[in-house]
A and B are shown apart, each in its own frame.
Chain A
Amino acid sequence: MNRRVAWVMLAMALGPELAAQGDVTARLAGRVPPPIAAAVSALADSARARGLPVAPLVDKALEGVVKGVPADRILPAVRTVLDQLDAASAALRGAGVTPAGDDAIEAGGFALAAGLTPGDIGAIARSADRSHPTAVALQVAGALAAMGVPRAQTVGLVRGAIQSGRPVGDLVSLPGQVQAAMARGAPPAAAAAGLERAATAHQAPRPHGQGKGEGNPHKP
């Protein structure tokens, strides 16, 4: 038994953490002024310690620098992203999604940025299932909200698509359908209402005992 074995074990345990820190530093190096890079690295450490993804923080810092934003406005924007990720993570935890993956937390953070609330995030996450993953459902919801579909309609459309048991492709196609209707001149709310009516009209009765999210056998 020796001290060297102990060092190797510690290195193995801390390896992924150190690699992640190195990744943040490497992405910022040479592109972001050192004071901002140091502050973003500290925020990334804080995010990582809370189980949050750090890539969106680095992306926001890079975006600010590339867009020529003054340094004193970059860090607040990065902090806002961190707060959104934190709120999304808490909402997912409250909905029983533990552990929430980075993709779900990022999608939740984006949905919050698009105008949804933590309650909306939780409601959508609770309706997700194996065939309609939380991350995909939240990405769809965020896209709908970003198009201007009202919150309640957004949540209703996404949950309705999941609970109907239709394939995930139908869920994923919702923003495209809304956008097509908007291109024909419909306001976002009206476009979403049209989809709700269509979904209700085409709702086929589900066979007894069919599990949620396993797909509707009557629909190709």
Chain B
Amino acid sequence: MSQELDLPPALRPEVEAARRHVSLSPEIEARVMAAVRRRAAPPQQRAWRWLTAPSLPPWSLLAAAAAALLAFVIFRPASVGSPGVASPRATAVGPESVYVRFILVAPNAREVALAGTFNGWDPATAPLSRADTAGTWTVTVALPVGQHQYAFIVDGRRWVPDPAAPAVDDGFGRKNSVVSVSAAQGRIL
């Protein structure tokens, strides 16, 4: 306050003008911000700066590496690792799949579907078609290499194992049929 009193009278209007709030129009603000964004570093550069900005003492990286290694050892997926002494297992799993034709003779059925481990037990994904007037129903499905359990669903409610395939208990008091697709020569067991 005392400084203002010391100002020469000629400067006082200039000081008053400088104290007044200046507001920019929205158009100017948008243009300025657009120019700022154009000059900003590219995303990769910003990410690198974010990663490398120092925030911890050097020993923390060692602690983090140890924690990561420990977490990996504890939680690693079972499939990680090299072939064992007696288990060269690389050939059994792969992207190969084999077309398998399923057949059920059900003369009185109105609809038949196929459900199994290969389609998440979802009958809607594999309906069978009636192949002839004798009641033969078929569907062809691409199965990945491996072993699969399945059953037919007749008329949406009756679960029927495949009479032409081996079967195992399903754990619920019924039977599941089993089909094994091998990478060796595209064979079905």
Please state if B84 and A103 are interface contacts (CB–CB under 8 Å).
Answer: no
Q: Is A10 in contact with chain B by the CB < 8 A criterion? A: yes
CB-CB under 8 A from B146, the residues of chain A are: 103, 106, 139
Against B, the Cβ 8 Å flags (1 = close, 0 = not) of A38-57 are: 00000000001101110110
Q: How far is the CA of A130 from the CA of B83 in the complex (A)?
A: 10
Please state if A100 and B64 are interface contacts (CB–CB under 8 Å).
Answer: no
Q: How far is the CB of A124 from chain B (nearest CB, A)?
A: 10
Interface, chain B (partner A; CB < 8 A): 50-58, 60-61, 63-65, 67-69, 71-72, 74-81, 84-93, 115, 117, 120-123, 146-147, 149, 159, 164, 166-172, 174, 176, 178, 180, 182, 184-185, 187-189
Known: A1-B58, A96-B85, A146-B168. Is A140-B180 also a contact (CB below 8 A)?
yes
Please state if B84 and A110 are interface contacts (CB–CB under 8 Å).
Answer: no
Please state if A12 and B68 are interface contacts (CB–CB under 8 Å).
Answer: yes
Interface residue SS majority, chain A: helix
Q: Is A220 in contact with chain B by the CB < 8 A criterion? A: no
User: Which 10 pairs show the lowest CB-CB distances between chains A and B?
Assistant: A6-B64, A77-B171, A146-B166, A97-B87, A17-B75, A135-B92, A51-B78, A99-B81, A130-B88, A1-B61
Chain A CB within 10 Å — which of B63, B121, B169 has the most?
B121
Please state if B189 and A100 are interface contacts (CB–CB under 8 Å).
Answer: no
CB-CB under 8 A from A62, the residues of chain B are: 120-122
CB-CB under 8 A from A121, the residues of chain B are: none
Nearest A residue to B65, CB-CB: A9
25 examples of A-B residue contacts, CB within 8 angstroms: A2-B51, A2-B54, A2-B56, A3-B55, A4-B50, A4-B51, A4-B55, A5-B64, A14-B71, A49-B74, A53-B78, A63-B121, A63-B170, A77-B171, A96-B85, A98-B84, A98-B85, A99-B79, A102-B78, A110-B168, A129-B86, A136-B92, A146-B178, A174-B189, A175-B180
Please state if A6 and B60 are interface contacts (CB–CB under 8 Å).
Answer: yes
Please state if A92 and B87 are interface contacts (CB–CB under 8 Å).
Answer: yes
Please state if A8 and B51 are interface contacts (CB–CB under 8 Å).
Answer: yes
Known: A1-B56, A16-B77. Is A172-B185 also a contact (CB below 8 A)?
yes
Q: How far is the CA of A136 from the CA of B188 in the complex (A)?
A: 11
Known: A6-B60, A97-B84, A106-B147. 15 other contacts (CB 8 A): A2-B56, A6-B56, A9-B65, A10-B71, A17-B75, A48-B77, A66-B115, A67-B170, A81-B171, A104-B89, A133-B88, A140-B189, A172-B182, A172-B185, A172-B187
Please state if A113 and B185 are interface contacts (CB–CB under 8 Å).
Answer: no
Q: How far is the CB of A180 from chain B (nearest CB, A)?
A: 11
Known: A1-B61, A59-B117, A113-B169. Is A10-B68 also a contact (CB below 8 A)?
yes
CB-CB under 8 A from A128, the residues of chain B are: 86-88
CB-CB under 8 A from B169, the residues of chain A are: 113
Within 8 A of B (CB), among A45-103: 48-49, 51-53, 55-56, 59-60, 62-64, 66-67, 69, 73, 76-77, 80-81, 92, 95-103
Q: Is A201 in contact with chain B by the CB < 8 A criterion? A: no
Please state if A146 and B167 are interface contacts (CB–CB under 8 Å).
Answer: yes
